[in-house]
Amino acid sequence: MEYILYEKEAWVGIITLNRPKALNALNSGVLEELSQVLDQAKRDEVRCLILTGAGEKAFAAGADISEMRLLSREEGERFGKKGNQVFWKVETFPAPVIAAVNGFALGGGCELAMCCDIRIASENAVFGQPEVGLGITPGFGGTQRLARLVGPGMAKQLIFTGKNIKAEEALRIGLINSVCPQGELMEEAGRLARSIVRNAPIAVRNSKEAINEGLDTDLRSGLGIEERLFGACFETEDQRYGMDFFLDKNKDKQREMFKNR
Ligand code: CAA
């Protein structure tokens, strides 16, 4: 692939946007390859994905402005649809996705981080939706996901002003989960991924689905979704052995089993 690196260690996949000279800006090629690599990671049955950017400066500095400059109205809508389709694959990926945000996460870059399940950032990370300064709205889900993550008031302030915020402020408003020094970011992401993959994979996957689907509906329907996915865990080996080993007070065997599943 020209723009994406992919590696897999044990049950953890790492996808790196690899266009550092353009601060990993998202052109059609990056989007297409990201879509393909997500399919590959799904086939590999990874139990956690880490998504990051190459270089020291950027996670992704947004959709590619030079590619968008001369788009017609229809082409603009199609470009937004393409971004939304690929980001939807991230959102619904059948295992947790961690964004390791190692620098600028602007426009489409911030939107990409927001469709991940967990966001951790380095101290030099910068977040923002600067699109209105370019004469457009956020187009890869920013108007929807930012408002859901930080509330409509803060989302509107960030989008209407187009102002960037630093990692500490992003942490304060709940846009990200944690901040660490840049040199420790990937180790931190790896630690978090390992602490996820040592648990029962079907249970983790069903939890993600229950949270995501539940957030799209009212509480009563959400509880119905949880009941279905809770029920679907029963009769699995994970549930049978997981509970047997717990009752036998054999924690090591429990962990070992999930690791080797
Ligand atoms: N699209 C295309 N190229 C980009 C880019 C983008 N979004 N962001 C950076 N680049 C390119 C620059 O053009 C430059 O290329 P050259 O070396 O060929 O000139 C290279 O990356 C390095 O960038 P800078 O020289 O600008 O680096 P800097 O350190 O001075 O500034 C920055 C960094 C503040 C992130 C600045 O690059 C910047 O403001 N980038 C644009 C951010 C932005 O507006 N993003 C939103 C895009 S619109 C969008 O994403 C729509 C949507 O929702 C789908």
Same domain? For 241 and 121 the reply is no
Residue 138 Cβ inside 6 Å of ligand 1? The answer reads yes
pTM of the model: 0.97
CATH of the domain at 256: 1.10.12.10
Residue 65 Cβ inside 6 Å of ligand 1? The answer reads yes
Distance from C-alpha of 34 to C-alpha of 53, rounded to nearest angstrom: 12
Last residue of a domain, one of 197, 213, 241: 197
Domain of 212, in residue numbers: 201-260
Residue 108 Cβ inside 6 Å of ligand 1? The answer reads yes
| Residue 169 annotated to the active site | no
Same domain? For 146 and 242 the reply is no
Distance from C-alpha of 31 to C-alpha of 57, rounded to nearest angstrom: 20
Q: Is the dihedral of CA 25, 28, 29, 30 positive or negative?
A: positive
pLDDT at residue 124 above 70?
A: yes
Among the ranges given (8-12, 118-122, 168-172, 256-260), the one the predictor scored with the smallest mean pLDDT:
256-260
Residue 22 Cβ inside 6 Å of ligand 1? The answer reads yes
What's the pLDDT score for residue 250? 83
CATH of the domain at 153: 3.90.226.10
Last residue of a domain, one of 197, 229, 246: 197
Same domain? For 26 and 153 the reply is yes
Same domain? For 10 and 111 the reply is yes
Same domain? For 11 and 93 the reply is yes
Q: How far, in whole angstroms, is CA 163 from its chain's centroid?
A: 22
As given in the structure block, the two tokens for residue 172 are 């304060």
Query: Atom 11 (ligand 1): residue with closest C-alpha?
Result: 22
What's the pLDDT score for residue 161? 98
Q: How far, in whole angstroms, is CA 13 from its chain's centroid?
A: 13
Question: pLDDT band at 23, cuts 50/70/90?
Answer: very high
Same domain? For 251 and 156 the reply is no
- Find out whether 46 and 11 touch, Cβ atoms under 8 Å: yes
What's the pLDDT score for residue 256? 74
What's the pLDDT score for residue 261? 64
Query: Atom 2 (ligand 1): residue with closest C-alpha?
Result: 64
Residue 139 Cβ inside 6 Å of ligand 1? The answer reads yes
Tell the burial category of 234 from Cβ atoms under 10 Å away from its Cβ (0-12, 13-18, 19+).
exposed
The 10s digit of each residue's pLDDT in 68-111 is: 999 999 999 999 999 999 999 999 999 999 999 999 999 999 99
Closest CA to 107 of 83, 89, 90: 83
What's the pLDDT score for residue 260? 64
Number of domains the chain is built from: 2
Same domain? For 76 and 146 the reply is yes
The 10s digit of each residue's pLDDT in 39-74 is: 999 999 999 999 999 999 999 999 999 999 999 999
Same domain? For 191 and 209 the reply is no
Same domain? For 143 and 255 the reply is no
Å from CA of 1 to ligand 1 middle: 22
Last residue of a domain, one of 197, 217, 238: 197
DSSP secondary structure string for all residues of 132-192: GGGTS---SSHHHHHHHHH-HHHHHHHHHH---EEHHHHHHTTS-SEEE-GGGHHHHHHHH
Question: pLDDT band at 26, cuts 50/70/90?
Answer: very high
Same domain? For 33 and 162 the reply is yes
Catalytic residue among 131, 168, 227, 237: 131
pLDDT at residue 146 above 80?
A: yes
Same domain? For 181 and 226 the reply is no
pLDDT at residue 253 above 90?
A: no
Å from CA of 89 to ligand 1 middle: 25
Same domain? For 73 and 183 the reply is yes
Distance from C-alpha of 112 to C-alpha of 49, rounded to nearest angstrom: 14
Q: Which atom of ligand 1 is nearest to the CA of 80?
A: 54
